Amino acid sequence: MHSCVLGAGVIGVTTAYQLLMAGHEVSLIEEQSQVAQMTSLGNGAQLSYSYVAPLADASIWRKWPEYLFSQHSPLRLKPQLDPALWHWLWQFLMACNHQRANISSRQLLTLAQLSQVQIEQIRAQHGFDFQHQTSGKLVMLSDQASIDAAAGQIAFQAQYGCQQSILGINQCIELEPALAHAQTRWLAGVYTPAEEVGDCASFCQHLLATMAQSPRFQFLPNARIESAHLVGGKVSHINLRQTETATGSPTTRHTADHFVVAMGIESARFAKMLGFRLPVYPLKGYSITVPIRDANSASAPHISITDLSQKIVYARLGDRLRVAGRVELVGHDLRIPPEAIAELVKATQTLFPESGDLNAAEQLSPWAGLRPATPTGVPILGKSPIANVYLNVGHGALGWTLACGSASLLRSVICGETPAIDMTGFAFR
């Protein structure tokens, strides 16, 4: 059985790995020259298995004026003549209610717990180093309303085995002394001891090297999908064009028994080729990676930190500090405006001023990524309207967290196995 996985970010790479382990012949197709070069390259690095509340929740309604009009808002919308944006935004707002948010949280928690088990199995089997640490996580809260909301979320998530607690600011600083510089910013923090961090791109590269040892695996980089051909309700083949050659160069034909769509935000383009629509839209985010000046000091956090009000995360990767933030609805624009990076630099200087040299912009590896999100925040996994095409799309900002679990579920669907969790809520509609 030959399975062709389209897209080599963390979703595609983990899917290819699972199918290869199931005994399939696997081809992995990627438009870039290497795996994990786009959205998976510079993400927030947090593996947040117990903190997966969707962006779409009831609080959006009271915050909406700030999101629309404040220049300091962590969620920004750029109005434009894009029907896909307005259609997605309407569905998103309709999902911003307590009932839908609870359903989404339950589905995401279940998938995240499966993903944690799966990544641990991969680590145990292969033992490669991707700066993985079970460091714990503090989500810092700046006002009483946020504390009250967090208490409700903790009580809800406790039903599903999550172990979390609210700590006063002094307790937070005892756990993570690096927070002392900005203790007046917050009142409390949600502490989750079992949360993890890891370098997503490094993980993908190691997994690719592992798969490359198999004669049943083929990696096809620099390959753009130009067209897909349907015969009898199935995809018979796709045509690929090498991205390093001229536009008018010939295409090559690629056949397979199954095709898995894991192309991030480009998944919507491929679905359109096949005649159906995917409710996926890009949420743009940014990051910097700060070389830590003194790895043994308390200048940079050892525990993963989320500043909830600013929607900025801080994750330590060995001797580096990954700082990521913002949620922008600006279409497919991958440009990195200087003010976006300046905002992350300023936030880091405020919280962790001694962490590293924040004035050397060229050392901070500025990154922008388009996180493919569904309106509810729940990814789409499983069968598509086309008989031999399967979907693994729409993970939003949780792609790194949910990747290994999603890949495991898709393997079960394709191989006719019983999935480890109920997949009803993840099905394409």
The pLDDT tens digits for 79-97 are 778 888 999 999 999 999 9
Residue type, 384: S
The residues that bridge with 233 in the sheet, in sequence order, are: none
Q: Does residue 68 surpass a pLDDT of 70? A: no
Span 216-256, pLDDT tens digits: 999 999 999 999 999 999 999 999 999 876 556 788 999 99
Place of tokens 């339950």: 106
- Show the tokens assigned to 72: 């300091």
Among 240-254, 314-328, 354-368, 376-390, the range scoring the smallest mean pLDDT is 240-254
Residue 70's pLDDT is: 62
Give Cα 389 to chain centroid, integer Å.
22
Give Cα 286 to chain centroid, integer Å.
13
Place of tokens 């383009």: 269
Q: What is the mean pLDDT of residues 274-282?
A: 96
- 72/52: higher pLDDT: 52
> Rounded CA gap, 387 and 398, in Å?
28
Residue type, 119: I
Q: What is the mean pLDDT of residues 389-399?
A: 97
Residue 51's pLDDT is: 84
The pairs formed by 80-89 with CB atoms below 8 angstroms and a separation of 24 or more are: 80/330, 80/331, 82/331, 84/268, 84/281, 85/281, 85/329, 85/331, 87/279, 88/279, 88/280, 88/281, 88/375, 89/329
Alpha-carbon distance values, 96 to 70, 93, 104, 173, 399 (Å): 20, 5, 11, 34, 21
Span 15-35, pLDDT tens digits: 999 999 999 999 999 999 999
CB atoms within 10 A of CB 201: 22
Length of the chain: 429
Residue 360's pLDDT is: 73
Span 352-363, pLDDT tens digits: 998 988 887 678
Q: Does residue 74 surpass a pLDDT of 70? A: no
- With contact defined as beta carbons under 8 Å apart, do 39 and 368 qualify? no
Where does the pLDDT of residue 337 fall: very low under 50, low under 70, confident under 90, or very high at 90 and above? very high
SS3 421: coil
Q: Give the mean pLDDT of the chain.
A: 93
Where does the pLDDT of residue 36 fall: very low under 50, low under 70, confident under 90, or very high at 90 and above? very high
The pTM of the whole model exceeds 0.85? yes
Alpha-carbon distance values, 400 to 44, 149, 338 (Å): 9, 25, 26
Residue 49's pLDDT is: 95
Domain architecture of the chain: domains with CATH: 64-81+131-197+282-371 (3.30.9.10)
